[in-house]
Structure 1
Amino acid sequence: MARTQGSRAEITGPLLRDEARRLFARQGYAAVSMRQIAAAVGVQAGALYAYTPDKQALLHDLLESHMQDLLAAWTDTPGADPLARLERFVRFHIGFSLDNSDAVFLSYMELRNLAPDNFARITALRGHYEAALEAIIRDGIASGAMQVEDPKLTTLALIAMLTGVTNWYREGGRLDRDRIADIYWGLARGAVGAH
């Protein structure tokens, strides 16, 4: 089937991804059909297959690009003060998550819908990001700046806590992003036994 008259590949491809991300985040991957995505994009359903082989590939692509963007955006400074590095991580994670809330939601809630090989690829990327935070925590323990019983568990708990901001934050609410980051930094500092 052809594209709707006036549609263009350089516009339709990104729009397809944006609309699929939005629909999956609002309604859930299983509830959204390729026909619904096509309607949101403004093309016939068959035209979507010029951009993706199927819905599973589309979900994988969305999750993979989110993780690659996250990993590319994060930079650490090994050897610097571990508490300063942890603070940077906290503020980075909150900001990135709020700027990409639909992608973050998909990354956590729809991971279960990936085929086993796609699941393995995404969890490997997540493992790289988790390892970055765990390295900061291990350096903090080694320097005496942090006191934690289990660095891996602390890493996972901190990421879950920080990512949770996307569930309740609303622009224009009681707290602005900077204040939220300040409070989360205090919570993270406490979680690693720093003063």
Structure 2
Amino acid sequence: MPRTIGSHSGITGPRVRSAALALFARHGFAAVSMRQIAAEVGVQAGALYNYTPDKQSLLFDLMCNHMEELLAALPKESDASAAKQLENFVRFHIAFHHERPDAVFIAYMELRNLAPDNFTVIEGLRRRYETALETILRAGAAEGVFSVQDTKVATLAVIAMLTGVTTWFRAEGRLSLRAVQDQYWDMVHRMVSPGGTV
């Protein structure tokens, strides 16, 4: 079967995903058509089906790739103290998500548009990431350096707090990324420390 003119699997496939990511983040999954994605890539709409079965599969692929990259990059330092592991988690989460604002937006805002089976897979990946942080909080509580009433609630609160940085931080703004990481680590540390306040 002849390949569509201007289409190369190693080039067009990533371009399809990149275009879909940007369009989903800008307009929302429901408002974007396969024809719009094709126009952004510069191919005929029918050519997209060489790279993805349908729009739902494309959304799932984007979310799954994001979560798998996140889990693969997560620092693994079981020999460090709980406080150091928590600091590393805070700094990592902010830096990783800062570089991927569209993927972060889609990962949170488009969960409702996943088919049930796809939702289950993504929810499982999210739970693995949450468990990594909750494990750190439990270790800190066991060491006596953290005081957390409910580690699950604290986990979700910390992740939501850190993820929020992507909505307002700008590299050209008043604070550097490092300065933001420093301040957020200070707030998180005080939040989970015995007698701490933010």
Short-chain TM bin: over 0.9
The answer to whether the 8 Å contact 2:6/2:43 transfers is no
Query: Offset of 1:187 from its aligned partner?
Result: 1.1
- The AA in structure 2 aligned to 1:152 is K
Query: Offset of 1:29 from its aligned partner?
Result: 0.5
- 1:68 has 2:68 as partner: yes
Moved more, 75-84 or 130-139: 75-84
The answer to whether the 8 Å contact 2:89/2:133 transfers is yes
Give the corresponding residue for 1:52.
Answer: 52
Q: Which runs of 5+ in 2 are unaligned?
A: none
Query: Offset of 1:190 from its aligned partner?
Result: 1.6
Give the corresponding residue for 2:146.
Answer: 146
Give the corresponding residue for 1:170.
Answer: 170
Query: Offset of 1:8 from its aligned partner?
Result: 1.5
Q: How many residue pairs align between the two structures? A: 195
Give the corresponding residue for 1:91.
Answer: 91
Give the corresponding residue for 1:42.
Answer: 42
- The AA in structure 1 aligned to 2:69 is D
Query: Offset of 1:4 from its aligned partner?
Result: 5.6
The CA distance in 2 between the partners of 1:30 and 1:191, in whole Å, is: 38
Q: Which runs of 5+ in 1 are unaligned?
A: none
Query: Offset of 1:127 from its aligned partner?
Result: 0.4
Over aligned residue pairs, what C-alpha RMSD do you find? 1.4
Give the corresponding residue for 2:133.
Answer: 133
Give the corresponding residue for 1:104.
Answer: 104
TM-score of the superposed pair, with normalisation by structure 2:
0.95
Give the corresponding residue for 2:182.
Answer: 182
Query: Offset of 1:3 from its aligned partner?
Result: 6.3
Identical-pair percentage: 58
1:117-136 CA-to-partner distances (Å, cap 9, x unmatched) read 00000000000000000000
Query: Offset of 1:193 from its aligned partner?
Result: 2.0
- The AA in structure 1 aligned to 2:53 is P
The answer to whether the 8 Å contact 1:3/1:44 transfers is no
Runs of 4+ that moved beyond 3 A:
none
The CA distance in 1 between the partners of 2:3 and 2:174, in whole Å, is: 45
1:125-171 CA-to-partner distances (Å, cap 9, x unmatched) read 00000000000000000000101100000000000000001111112
The CA distance in 1 between the partners of 2:12 and 2:77, in whole Å, is: 39
